[in-house]
Amino acid sequence: MKKSAYKKELTLRSTQERDGVNNRRNEVIKIQSWLNLYGMQHPASGTATSIDGAFGPATERAVENFQSHNGLNVTGVVDAQVFSVLCGGMAKAFETPLQSVNLRDKVLEAAHLHLSQHPLELQINGEWNSGPWVRSYMDGNDGSIWFWCMGFVQTIIDQAASELGKDFTKLMPLTYSCDTVGQKGIQEGYLHRYQQLRKKSSFMEPGDIFLIQKSKFDWVHTGIIMEIQGETIQTIEGNTNQAGSRNGIAVMKRIRNFHKSKIDVFSIDSLI
């Protein structure tokens, strides 16, 4: 995969513990981030704590709760074994071999695989669009300015294409911008406009990329089309929420009505 920043999120340089001499602020922030992500999925686990880079009594207690919740020895210390459990969901999402044969099916499988591991963003140092999942999709970048819906889409396409020995940048440039992909689609003839799609939905297929249009040459959100039924598409998309926001906190499966919303579709056919 070209998008390999996730590997850094799976790596702990040294054991981290309360007031440890080998503690590193960035490593502790990584641990605290994973503890909070776990707590968001398991609200009764008692692993939510401040993300401040200091491994004090609160972080130690959160680690102990995580260890107890997962049947591990309760030490309050995060070594490589404990950390691998903390970040195991990301390892599954990125490193589980895909079983499908063709590119479109691999795209769908990869999207479902990521969804099943509950990717979420965090607020760190007052900045939303932060945390391990965001950095993995955004090539190490995070913070409020880093909207990550396109980063998620390109990660899924890259993961599926790489298993077939294909380079996703032959389809579109590596970018975080919906506009860049939309313009590429226009230039190459890959983009079907919403007016066409409302008349003939067969122009889009599962595995294609939807782009929500703000104006003719301005797109504000994106995701993967999973199913088409009637006037609706079922999607998996990042940086969204229950309201369908383009700046939400999660990867979610959603239903969108392409007869009501201005949804253009970027075809992945040229990569197949």
Per-residue model confidence as pLDDT tens digits over 90-102: 999 999 999 999 9
Domain boundary among 58, 91, 124: 91
Q: Are residues 70 and 108 in the same domain?
A: no
Q: Are residues 13 and 87 in the same domain?
A: yes
Q: Are residues 73 and 107 in the same domain?
A: no
Instruction: Give the per-residue pLDDT at 197.
Output: 98
Domain boundary among 41, 70, 91: 91
Summarised one tens digit per residue, pLDDT across range 133-151 is: 999 999 999 999 999 999 9
Residue 62: helix, strand or coil by DSSP? helix
Summarised one tens digit per residue, pLDDT across range 3-39 is: 999 999 999 999 999 999 999 999 999 999 999 999 9
- Put simply, whether the predicted model's pTM sits higher than 0.75 gets the answer yes
Q: Are residues 47 and 164 in the same domain?
A: no
Q: Are residues 80 and 127 in the same domain?
A: no
- Domain assignment of residue 86, given as a range: 6-91
Q: Are residues 256 and 148 in the same domain?
A: yes
d(CA 40, CA 34): 10
The answer to whether residue 1 is domain-embedded is: no
The answer to whether residue 127 is domain-embedded is: yes
Which CATH number is 34's domain given?
1.10.101.10
Instruction: Give the per-residue pLDDT at 203.
Output: 97
- Please list the rounded mean pLDDT of every run of 10 residues in the chain (272 residues): 97 97 97 98 98 98 98 98 98 98 98 98 98 98 98 98 98 98 98 98 98 97 98 98 94 98 98 94
Q: Are residues 77 and 116 in the same domain?
A: no
The answer to whether residue 13 is domain-embedded is: yes
Instruction: Give the per-residue pLDDT at 44.
Output: 98
Instruction: Give the per-residue pLDDT at 262.
Output: 98
Q: Is 17 left (phi over 0), alpha (psi -120 to 50) or beta?
A: beta
Q: In the beta sheet, which residues pair with residue 213?
A: 219
Place of tokens 């102990």: 64
d(CA 50, CA 220): 32
Domains identified in the chain, total number: 2
Which CATH number is 182's domain given?
3.90.1720
Q: Are residues 154 and 220 in the same domain?
A: yes
Instruction: Give the per-residue pLDDT at 97.
Output: 98
Instruction: Give the per-residue pLDDT at 150.
Output: 98
Residue 236: helix, strand or coil by DSSP? strand
Q: Are residues 105 and 46 in the same domain?
A: no
Instruction: Give the per-residue pLDDT at 187.
Output: 98
Cβ–Cβ < 8 Å for 141, 155: no
Domain boundary among 91, 108, 141: 91
Instruction: Give the per-residue pLDDT at 131.
Output: 98
